Structure 1
Amino acid sequence: MDNPLENVKNNIAELTAAQRKVADYIIQHPSETAFLTVDQLAREVGTSTTTIMRLTFHLGYTGYSEFQKGMQGVLRNKAAPHTRLETNLQHMDDSDLWGHTVNRHVEQIENMRGLISTDYLDTVVDEVLDAGRIFCTSVRSGLPVGQYLTHGLNRTLGNTQLVIADMSDWIDEVIHMKASDVIIATSFPRYAQRIIDYVKEAKQRNVTVIAITDSYSAPIVEYADYILPCDSSSAAFHNSPVAAMIAADYIISAAAIRNSEKTRERLDEVNNILTNIQYHHNR
């Protein structure tokens, strides 16, 4: 029997916006989906039962019932780590905010690990290593991720720059972009329009787009070649970059290790300059 979760993820790009919203819920809540009726799922997602049925037909199932049986089979065969964590958190003392915060992020990271395979990430790293230029773009809550990626990749590759989409005058730059370039865009709710505008213009020039975002229903997904889903929810009101930072850290580490000889040469040169200008404090 095929894996319905993998089927959903592999066909994300072909779905309509309404179907992607359903797909995102299914991927984020596999245990709930396995036991919800089609009417209950429609209410949870805020869509129609017709949209859900069309999604299952598109994925090759005879209907929602067959799809759901496949989901139940997946859960029987393998209980995902994040499902166990969700169960444990239900019994947590809410007065322990520190423990709740730590557990929440562990859950998010485990969930992300289940959603993004090593092979998929390594394909993303291939695109990064083959890029002529890399543009990391983000705003506000996503900015720490963009800054971290820019610093790490530029130290390794020397071809990366940060574009703050709602401040930088990227319009003058985007007209010179080429198909050999790559954009790594971090986009969290409420999804800044300027990032979408930037990525959309870049796609018209055949630039490869890697999206780090919270869900498959995020607006940037429409223009992305690669999607790294990273839950950005927090215990309070803000978007948390913690899960996205893990994905960013992997990309930086893998790029440096797979390009180790050039990385070593660049780090030696950078260190020589820092030493010459006495950049670091001497105890």
Structure 2
Amino acid sequence: MNQQKNNDLLLMIQQRYDDFSKGQKLIANYIADHYDKAAYVTAAKLGEIVGVSESTVVRFAIELGYDGYPKLQKALQELIKSKLTSVQRIEVSSNRINEDNVLKSVLQSDIEKIKITLEQIELDDFNNVVETILNANRIFILGVRSSATLASFLGFYFNLIFDNVRLVHTTSVSEMFEQIMRAQSGDVVIGISYPRYSKRTIKAMQYAKSQGAITIALTDSIESPVAQCADLSLLARSDMASFVDSLVAPLSVINALIAAIGMRRKNEVYNTFEHLEKVWDEYNVYDKDDNHDVKL
């Protein structure tokens, strides 16, 4: 099975969906929504999850042109590694989004991803990450491309809580290494990356770990290359809305992380914001005019 067919697998399933039997449609729906999980379960387990027989799962793989379920499973695993190109995202998502009500389609998809994340995330993992960050000497935050917005959001609030945070801004691998070259034992490096995974973030995480820093990944799957080089991981489901990355669930997890750490450092946060409120008032940072009149 060549790489192109691996990448086109989800699109092929959607294009042939109407021709599938009732049982095959159940399998198709599960793979479309959970291909990262389907890639690592047996045919019997997949059948159990969706409520069909193991033989139905095997026939489904053959129906798609694979020589049995293991070949389909391998294709799904390759799909996870490579993910989809921007063009393929547009092709696949065009069949998932109701063009007559794009707003409802996208928001419902985001709600579903938050629900899945809530069901799957481990509270012990979350609490462990909170403790690790609270005990860090320094905190480095990495995130590029679409994940840069998540990194900036986390960095903004962490800088209000801690005085030892560095948000790594970079446009190249060399610049990223220059900014984390002093990461060492006792430091924490948080790498945020979602499909398609950034090589810069992966390499920086690998380097930080080799220097003795504790690495924390915020990503979508334990099979993510960022998770593979992390000591701790927080998993939040992402999705694609056309060529756009839907990162609502990861942002919700980041919000929870900020809130949890803020509660643990309540006194410091209170003092910080008490001081900031005075500064903001003095320099008119925020509009406090109830009438919203323009004052020159």
User: TM-score with structure 1 length normalisation?
Assistant: 0.69
* Pair 1:100-2:105 in alignment: yes
* Pair 1:109-2:105 in alignment: no
Deviation at 1:251, TM superposition (A): 0.4
* Pair 1:198-2:204 in alignment: yes
Deviation at 1:214, TM superposition (A): 2.2
- Output aligned runs, 1:155-194, within 5 Å: 155-167=160-172, 169-194=175-200
CA RMSD of aligned residues (A): 2.9
| AA partner of residue 224 (structure 1) | A
Partner deviation per Cα, 1:58-110 (whole Å, 9 max, x = no partner): xxxxxxxxxxxxxxxxxxxxxxxxxxxxxxxx999663322211111111111
Partner deviation per Cα, 1:133-165 (whole Å, 9 max, x = no partner): 111111111111101100111111232221134
Structure 1 counterpart SS, 2:146: helix
Aligned to 1:83: none
Say whether the 8 Å CA contact 1:137–1:165 is kept in structure 2.
no
Count of matched residue pairs: 220
| AA partner of residue 182 (structure 2) | H
Say whether the 8 Å CA contact 1:133–1:159 is kept in structure 2.
yes
Q: What is the aligned counterpart of 2:247 among 241, 249, 254?
A: 241
| AA partner of residue 141 (structure 1) | S
Structure 1 counterpart SS, 2:239: coil
Partner deviation per Cα, 1:202-247 (whole Å, 9 max, x = no partner): 1111111111112222211221111222222123122222111011
Q: What is the aligned counterpart of 2:274 among 243, 254, 268?
A: 268
CA 1:186/1:111 → structure 2, altered by over 3 Å: closer, same or farther?
A: same
Structure 2 counterpart SS, 1:239: strand
Deviation at 1:22, TM superposition (A): 7.1
* Pair 1:142-2:171 in alignment: no
Unmatched 5+ stretches in structure 2? 1-34, 59-67, 78-94, 290-296
- Output aligned runs, 1:206-221, within 5 Å: 206-221=212-227
What is the percent sequence identity of the aligned residues? 23
* Pair 1:231-2:260 in alignment: no
Q: What is the aligned counterpart of 1:130 among 107, 131, 135?
A: 135
Q: What is the aligned counterpart of 1:277 among 259, 268, 283?
A: 283
Structure 2 counterpart SS, 1:46: helix
Unmatched 5+ stretches in structure 1? 1-20, 49-89
Say whether the 8 Å CA contact 1:184–1:209 is kept in structure 2.
yes
Structure 2 counterpart SS, 1:176: coil
| AA partner of residue 233 (structure 1) | D
The 10-residue stretch of structure 1 (37-46 or 264-273) with the greater mean CA deviation from structure 2: 37-46
